Structure 1
């Protein structure tokens, strides 16, 4: 393994087989924390190659707790994180709007590493109980239309890596891997990435295991649709750009996206948006992301999907999904 670590530190790329061997060594504890940190640091200098990312992903998927949610098609909404923007929990709130529009959602997430409040921090605070019981997840998906998978429960091999990542406090290539290893294997995905290089990596990889997807990167640095300017989008069919006007909304100020200092702030924003009492710009950001996810899943015009998202939120269907989901927790 030292040879592979040295190779990375010399800025050399690994082939697919070497990448699999390195990831296996990391998750099996064959590398110590210092060596693992060195590997993570090496990818601060450059992005993983396609062969490296595929090798890393395949090991994690093979070693994950397997999840069979039946024959339902569903979508995952997540982001790589690591954009350093501390936005509010857009994808988590968006998930309930998408579920309220009648689309099944199985969201994969984790505690925040490079942000104040990750999706798992927020959901746990709101009363959701994480479990890797297939029966629980199936019941939530069937009765409510949405369930959440806390990544550490499905990727136990990564427990020791979590401590190293937390110690570094920086985005690493595990930020890139997170959205690629949903153990439920969704049919569709809306995924935000922190730069265009990662977006293009995803555009190569995602067609291998998704029916359709939307990879998004706001050109001013966000890993979500933020309505602060132009967003670059990659789908299975095309690469294109969208403006706030394409969603029927005005451009918003970056200040409106702030997620606050702690989970209490995040929870207030969560409730305010789903109740429709938040600042209109916050609501519109969520509606834009929801519309893109709905459009991806239903293969319909974006303007139609915007109306579906609005109906889900303003009719109370979205927050009803949340209340029903929490009522199932025991």
Structure 2
């Protein structure tokens, strides 16, 4: 594909790249990485960064471009010595169907069911409560040092990797993204760039039109397996209200699936009572589900999404994974994981003993 970038310098400036985007050309993976590096430069004018972000959204990012963005962000990321054979669950946000923070609750169930999870996330960008917000409200220290996160994963099977800590270069564009007030490429790429390069992913995408590109980018990034998913009610999770569309990325190939709550042995029902507005309401719902106090649709959503993640990691059947998730809640193991993470995340003891 002719883009015009080939004639530019080895490390083009944003001013050199901007006319290429204005012409409507798509970038190759390496060109997209160059674009990110140019945006993150301290010399890049804010107005040019804003223009690039708006042009990309208007054009629609390709899978090559998303993969290139991820490549560049990995180059700038703070490294952490966690093996990639772990799970991560995340979402791009902006779902019109608002529920409590399902993926954060599910992460404790996943760990209690025996699969290690290095959950990567930040504060809310398109909702009232992001994963970092709800975990903070629950008492978890979200910005603990890498050595503490490593210890949490090793001893508890779960840790939280706070995006701003591991992707400090993104501070350069954060105020520009906020001022734009629209979804940008970083909303799609952020959930892809787990600092430890997690090989197993459950990634919710609220915008159905972007699912194929996100799945294609994950395939290029070399994940072992991922489910890129969206409830057909607009939820960026596996939903209880209807079927959910899934793009199953496995060893570089993608196939499309449709899954229903009944495939997990769970009844179909609306998600209305699983809504939570404030951060404190989110935290209260997560705590109630994990403690076994709720036996309603909020619990079902957590079980569904934990089971989907367990299936992605193990290949076991959906019903079997759902039973494991339910057991992890019923026997108190999931709630104990939360309590243990709260304690250990505040520990000053390093990874080495």
TM-score, normalised with respect to structure 1: 0.94
Alpha-carbon distance, 1:240 to partner = 0.7
User: Which segment is superposed worse, 110-119 or 164-173?
Assistant: 164-173
User: Which segment is superposed worse, 107-116 or 26-35?
Assistant: 26-35
Equivalent in the alignment of 1:39: 52
Where does structure 1 lack aligned partners over 5 or more consecutive residues?
Answer: none
Equivalent in the alignment of 2:205: 193
Equivalent in the alignment of 1:216: 229
Match of 2:173, SS state, is helix
Q: 2:29 aligns with which of 10, 13, 16?
A: 16
- Structure 2 counterparts to residues 62-101 of structure 1, below 5 A: 62-70=75-83, 73-101=85-113
Equivalent in the alignment of 2:64: 51
Equivalent in the alignment of 1:251: 268
Matches of 1:62 and 1:269 in 2, distance apart? 37
Match of 1:38, SS state, is helix
Q: 1:321 aligns with which of 321, 332, 337?
A: 337
Larger Rg: 1 or 2? Answer: 2
May I ask how many residue pairs the two structures share in their alignment? 328
Alpha-carbon distance, 1:257 to partner = 3.4
Matches of 1:255 and 1:145 in 2, distance apart? 32
Distance 1:16 1:207, change over 3 A: closer
- Structure 2 counterparts to residues 260-279 of structure 1, below 5 A: 260=277, 262-278=278-294
Matches of 1:256 and 1:171 in 2, distance apart? 27
Where does structure 2 lack aligned partners over 5 or more consecutive residues?
Answer: 1-13, 348-353
Matches of 2:227 and 2:67 in 1, distance apart? 19
Alpha-carbon distance, 1:74 to partner = 1.2
Q: 2:179 aligns with which of 164, 167, 174?
A: 167
Alpha-carbon distance, 1:43 to partner = 3.0
TM-score, normalised with respect to structure 2: 0.88
Match of 1:236, SS state, is strand
Equivalent in the alignment of 1:129: 141
Alpha-carbon distance, 1:10 to partner = 4.2
